[in-house]
């Protein structure tokens, strides 16, 4: 069983200016056992997939792993209606003991319902029979795209579970696996401009594209001789991906030279860059955009680079996780371990025995005691919230910005027979002090939504103590309490420069930093 801490996908994803990272689409983050070389095979495998098998597999997983015990009576009815909705002549009649499929008022088939509404295997088996019979009786369903039918059935299913459980169809699932694990690609970010051109927006350091001489601003015209001018971005990404070591030929128009250039290269293993370092005088500003398999190593490298570049005068680190939608659970733990010594980082609680666990830190991987400010906003979620809550609770950083998104749950990924993925919520997260931020979010020590300018920081720190104590004291807040508390520091979507200015002032004023850390640390968090 593979466990992950997912990003939020569509729920908080900011509008995309038509840009995609070739070799690693910005999508979900998860753990997969699939090798990077095999990731292009999904479409052919899933072409003739058995719908009933996918549904049965999903129901078994939901029954075993979902955070809450499901009611499969309700779930089965909604799943059926989601799939059969493509044919208005079909309907489902339910009673306490039977589910009956009708077509134009006539019975197609009827099955007795299992007695235990939490038995996913039994309900999945019954539903699979009803779906098979419905497809056999419906020309409309027989002529429908199988993947589209599965998507409708799974969307109806996950809608009944929770806001973070969802289904990813095979194409999106392949993108998800690329994002979290990397794979064969050339390491460029492409975007579609307003005048419909496909341009290279960024190059990953050391990538095949960079080594081959491609440049930011090049317009992609063709891949392996195939014209790409009118193609969607997804087709361009698909054509540039492939097995590591295989060749690809790219034809681009270089506006600066006014000529076409054809460049050949071999695909390399590409893992998306999630860590970007920038020197700000005596401070290190490190933007952390996600959590994939390379994040912790790249963050450690960035900190080492800052130490070497700035030297003994390094005053502190600003860890910018604004807009960071999350990623891998183990990477969230590893990033927190860079800053936290022995003791609890976070814990998880769920229905499945394997979902109940406490994650602790050792001192072996810890970096030097640099003062740290973490920047957060309403787009910060998932793994970013784990790190922020842990560092704040353990008195290791000052959190600055606005209240985060509030995704305090862990997901497990179930790879389905059609090469799609069921992303299933299976446990709830707790900070070291014991509070859970699901729906609530992480409250910053310094709310920049309330601090008009840097001169008000001290007042803001003092005012935040009572709010943080209320925040951390709640264990199962009601929706009304969540709404009320989130008004204290309304979540924002922007990433203003002022946040960095405030963080810089805090780090350069050691007494203010110490005061802010103390005010932001809940007393119980000091317990290992």
Catalytic residues: 382, 393, 407
Q: Where are the alpha helices (DSSP H) in 205-294?
A: 208-212, 233-240
Judge contact between 274 and 211, C-beta under 8 A: no
Residue 106 contacts by C-beta under 8 Å, 6 or more apart in sequence?
Answer: none
**Rounded to a whole number, what is the largest CA-CA distance in the chain?**
82
Strands 226-227 and 183-185: unpaired
Which strand (E) or helix (H) includes residue 79? helix 72-84
Residue with tokens 């779906």: 131
Judge contact between 442 and 79, C-beta under 8 A: no
Q: Which two tokens stand for residue 43?
A: 């479409």
Rounded Cα gap, residues 128 and 144, in angstroms: 17
**Closest-CA residue to 368 (of 437, 315, 431, 421):** 315
Neighbours of 300 (CB within 10 A): 16
DSSP, res 291: B
Transcribe 130-179 into DSSP letters. HHHHHHHH-HHHHHS-HHHHHHHHHHHHHHTT-TT-EEE-HHHHHHHHHH
Judge contact between 252 and 263, C-beta under 8 A: yes
Residue with tokens 């038509």: 18
Strands, DSSP E only, in 339-473? 343-349, 357-361, 372-376, 398-401, 409-415, 421-430, 446-447
Strands 446-447 and 398-401: parallel
**Closest-CA residue to 198 (of 239, 257, 253):** 253
């Amino acid at each position: 069983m593979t466990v992950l801490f997912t990003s939020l996908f569509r729920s908080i994803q900011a509008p995309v200016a038509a840009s995609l990272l070739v070799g690693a689409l910005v999508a979900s983050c998860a753990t997969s056992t699939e090798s990077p070389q095999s990731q292009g095979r999904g479409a052919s495998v899933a072409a003739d997939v058995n719908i009933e098998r996918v549904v049965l597999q999903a129901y078994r997983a939901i029954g075993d792993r979902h955070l809450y015990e499901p009611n499969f009576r309700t779930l089965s009815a909604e799943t059926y209606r989601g799939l059969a909705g493509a044919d208005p002549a079909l309907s489902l009649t339910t009673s306490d003991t039977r589910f009956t499929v009708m077509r134009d008022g006539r019975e197609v088939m009827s099955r007795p319902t299992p007695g235990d509404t939490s038995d996913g295997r039994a309900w999945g088996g019954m539903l699979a029979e009803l779906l098979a019979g419905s497809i056999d009786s419906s020309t409309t369903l027989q002529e429908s795209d199988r993947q589209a039918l599965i998507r409708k059935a799974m969307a109806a299913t996950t809608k009944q579970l929770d806001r973070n459980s969802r289904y990813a169809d095979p194409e999106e699932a392949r993108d998800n696996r690329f994002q979290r694990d990397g794979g064969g690609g050339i390491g460029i970010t492409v975007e579609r401009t307003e005048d419909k051109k496909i341009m290279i927006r960024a190059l990953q350091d050391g990538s095949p594209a960079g080594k081959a001489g491609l440049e930011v601003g090049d317009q992609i015209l063709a891949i392996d001789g195939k014209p790409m001018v009118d193609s969607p971005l997804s087709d361009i990404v698909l054509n540039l991906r492939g097995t590591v070591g295989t060749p690809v030929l790219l034809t681009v128009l270089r506006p600066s030279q006014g000529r076409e250039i054809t460049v050949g290269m071999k695909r390399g293993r590409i893992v998306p860059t999630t860590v970007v370092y920038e020197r700000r005088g005596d401070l290190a500003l490190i933007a952390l955009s996600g959590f994939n398999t390379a994040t912790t190593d790249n963050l450690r490298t960035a900190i080492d680079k800052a130490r070497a570049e700035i030297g003994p005068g390094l005053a502190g680190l600003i860890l910018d996780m604004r807009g960071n939608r999350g990623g891998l659970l183990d990477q969230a733990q590893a990033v927190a371990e860079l800053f936290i010594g022995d003791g609890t980082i976070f814990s998880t609680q769920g229905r499945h025995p394997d979902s109940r666990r406490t994650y602790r830190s050792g001192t072996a991987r810890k970096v030097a005691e640099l003062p740290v400010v973490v920047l957060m906003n309403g787009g910060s979620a998932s793994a970013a919230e784990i790190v922020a809550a842990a560092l704040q609770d353990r008195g290791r950083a000052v959190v600055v910005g606005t209240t985060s998104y509030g995704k305090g749950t862990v997901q497990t990924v179930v790879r389905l027979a059609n090469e799609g993925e069921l992303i299933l919520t299976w446990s709830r997260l707790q900070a070291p002090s014991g509070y859970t931020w699901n729906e609530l979010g992480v409250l910053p020590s310094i709310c920049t939504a309330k601090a008009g300018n840097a001169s008000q920081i001290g007042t803001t720190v003092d005012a935040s103590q009572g709010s943080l104590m209320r925040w951390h004291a709640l264990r199962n807040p009601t929706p009304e309490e969540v709404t009320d508390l989130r008004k204290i520091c309304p979540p924002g979507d922007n990433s203003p420069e002022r946040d960095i200015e405030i963080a810089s002032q805090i780090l350069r004023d050691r007494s203010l930093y110490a005061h802010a850390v103390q005010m932001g640390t809940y007393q119980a968090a000091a317990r290992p």
